[in-house]
Structure 1
């Protein structure tokens, strides 16, 4: 059945992402990369002047740079060229009210992670999503990399046998010293970020990547979260031991105080017949270890890639693709949903619930020093 959206670009509005934001421009570029989607409106800031300023930068019609979300949804609802979805690119405490307003207005939602500021809010959002007639998705960006999807396919096909060990690490160094930057301020503020700092900002990315590629759920964790820089209310350094549903053991390290580290997300999965190793800073290569001692280097564009990874590539082998292209793959999947198709690997509210459960379980278990804690959604 053909959708009325077939044959035209999908129109979206950005909530947040205004002046001083890194992620706003990333969303716009990623969404528009394949020319299936265009940014036409936004409530870019809670400050009307700053929202208008952002609208001018994004070359949005000045009349469609709105002072707040409610005004935007009302105005767009009566336009013949109104928006098809919103992207939420705000600090965490705005995620639930923005998503609720959009979904209740019949507007689809693409949201930054984590889903909300708290697990209780995520459960409320899950109920709203369940009752909505439009899609909801989360930008767990690293699941969009072609070789991450290749790794997932190979693990699912049994290429490394039964998974026995999972190591995922995400070191950064940009918060190693005290800073008053806008990007740091809200991430370190419990009122805007929620109960987790580093664990909520990048730890959930590492967690999602581990579950996404292995196809296994974490059932228990042992957490040690800390604030290394004096005066911080939220964690900036985390280490967790993990137990997976099949009995595999694992470890997750996430830190933002490791000087010299930039964006060192790395995933290693070992099975009883092999292992894989993927690094975000060299995303077009996947190392596959075989039990007979061979090590295989799989590269983007190789003829050996499976259908899903191949479909997510845009350039010939040897031409680097990275963060923006991975982000764009999520938007491509979302466009498929909006046009009535299927996108089974696109992260959604179930992933959001698990991410929030990880954050709150890790924070409480570390604070109470209560030992191994079950991960309950």
Structure 2
């Protein structure tokens, strides 16, 4: 693929020293279908310049602000300007930047969560509708090949009617008050003004929720939640437990924690139906375990025999050559880029080779966040997601129980 046929993209945030920006760039580069042409990587002018130089960009296209980037790129000839913007900033900038880029005529691929609140998420939805541009979200784990295999097996009824959905995302990196000791990644993630209404809830709870609905094919209808802050002085939750009621009568449990001392990145999904169930772990992503009432347990391997074509389409190497996080992320970029090239304004349906998370995933996860907060802070035993208001103002004064 020559340079002219690549999707030209810009990036806001993700400069020198940032984690997720580098991950986005690796994912975008993996299939050779994207070219980074510009960016506003940092509000610090020197860091911004160094970041652009390290990435080999023309200094003229290392912009000081998002406004300068959007204006500068719009002034370029159509065959040179960026086509899409990757947003890899802290959460409080996701919505205003996405809306500005969409209104300026650019496609957007944003880090999650979608916004600070459901009201902001709906404002992004409105901007997508009026612009006709494509919008995607980096719910990375849904890009794994065996997550697609799991989704297919549930959808075709291999396990019978689904009864149980269990998802856990367990980390330990915030077990100590590093957010109060200068760790920049921890600092903004526990600041209500920059992270939003939920801490652990917004950061990794949204991943767990999106994965559970995506693979099960069932919408969560109501929930009962408990948010806790265990580390003294922390302003947002660091531990989340939620009971779920899903459509069709299925029940579920979602557990997310960033104070599970010693845990690394323990995302695990289990789904059970009348005849059997499945289990997948992000730390061993190339295996999918199937368990049955009346026959031996099976372990399905990435690239091995029997995989659905939609799962095989997400693989790049033969069986026995492990693929992981970057490749899953790259599947989302590849789908986004090819959908953009096809001239479509919405993601293809789940199961399509080029599927990626979009507006629906964003709105669902933000509705989930606000329902959890409302239920945990209130006296109601259950909160229906359909009853969550969409105009809640951002507040840093939400009461979260201390552990």
Partner of 2:257: 255
Residue 79 (structure 1) aligned with residue 89 (structure 2): no
Tell me the SS of whatever aligns to 1:252: strand
Tell me the SS of whatever aligns to 1:18: coil
Counterparts in 2 of 1:129-148, with a 5 A limit?
129-148=128-147
Q: Is the CA contact 2:3–2:35 (under 8 Å) kept in the aligned structure 1?
A: no
Partner of 2:54: 57
Residue 367 (structure 1) aligned with residue 369 (structure 2): no
How far apart in 1 are the matches of 2:379 and 2:173? 28
Q: Is the CA contact 1:6–1:339 (under 8 Å) kept in the aligned structure 2?
A: no
Partner of 1:19: 16
Q: Is the CA contact 1:228–1:237 (under 8 Å) kept in the aligned structure 2?
A: yes
316-325 or 61-70: bigger deviation:
61-70
Partner of 2:359: 349
Q: Is the CA contact 1:244–1:250 (under 8 Å) kept in the aligned structure 2?
A: yes
How far apart in 2 are the matches of 1:330 and 1:23? 15
Counterparts in 2 of 1:77-226, with a 5 A limit?
77-80=74-77, 81-179=80-178, 180-226=182-228
Residue 243 (structure 1) aligned with residue 248 (structure 2): no
Q: Is the CA contact 1:46–1:68 (under 8 Å) kept in the aligned structure 2?
A: yes
Q: Is the CA contact 1:40–1:60 (under 8 Å) kept in the aligned structure 2?
A: yes
Cα deviation digits, residues 22-72 of structure 1 (max 9, x gap): 000000000010000011111111222221121122222211111011111
Q: Is the CA contact 1:265–1:280 (under 8 Å) kept in the aligned structure 2?
A: yes
Q: Is the CA contact 2:167–2:208 (under 8 Å) kept in the aligned structure 1?
A: yes
Tell me the SS of whatever aligns to 1:220: strand
TM norm structure 1: 0.97
1:369 Cα deviation from its structure 2 partner? 3.9
- The structure 1 residue matched to 2:318, chosen from 304, 316, 319, is 316
Q: Is the CA contact 1:48–1:66 (under 8 Å) kept in the aligned structure 2?
A: no
Q: Is the CA contact 1:107–1:134 (under 8 Å) kept in the aligned structure 2?
A: yes
1:262 Cα deviation from its structure 2 partner? 0.3
How far apart in 2 are the matches of 1:223 and 1:302? 39
1:195 Cα deviation from its structure 2 partner? 0.8
Partner of 1:46: 43
Off by >3 Å, runs of 4+ in structure 1: none
Which structure 1 residue ranges, 5 or more long, are not aligned?
none
Say how many residue pairs are matched: 373
Q: Is the CA contact 1:178–1:229 (under 8 Å) kept in the aligned structure 2?
A: yes
1:7 Cα deviation from its structure 2 partner? 6.5
Partner of 2:329: 327
How far apart in 2 are the matches of 1:227 and 1:282? 29
Q: Is the CA contact 1:334–1:343 (under 8 Å) kept in the aligned structure 2?
A: no
1:19 Cα deviation from its structure 2 partner? 2.3
- The structure 1 residue matched to 2:233, chosen from 231, 234, 238, is 231
Partner of 1:339: 341
367-376 or 12-21: bigger deviation:
367-376
How far apart in 2 are the matches of 1:321 and 1:329? 11
Tell me the SS of whatever aligns to 1:246: helix
Tell me the SS of whatever aligns to 1:14: strand
Backbone CA RMSD of aligned residues: 1.4
How far apart in 2 are the matches of 1:148 and 1:132? 32
How far apart in 2 are the matches of 1:77 and 1:343? 28
How far apart in 2 are the matches of 1:279 and 1:86? 31
Tell me the SS of whatever aligns to 2:294: coil
Residue 66 (structure 1) aligned with residue 63 (structure 2): yes
How far apart in 2 are the matches of 1:219 and 1:364? 15
1:119 Cα deviation from its structure 2 partner? 1.0
C-alpha spacing 1:159/1:6, structure 2 compared with 1 (3 Å): farther
How far apart in 2 are the matches of 1:370 and 1:20? 44
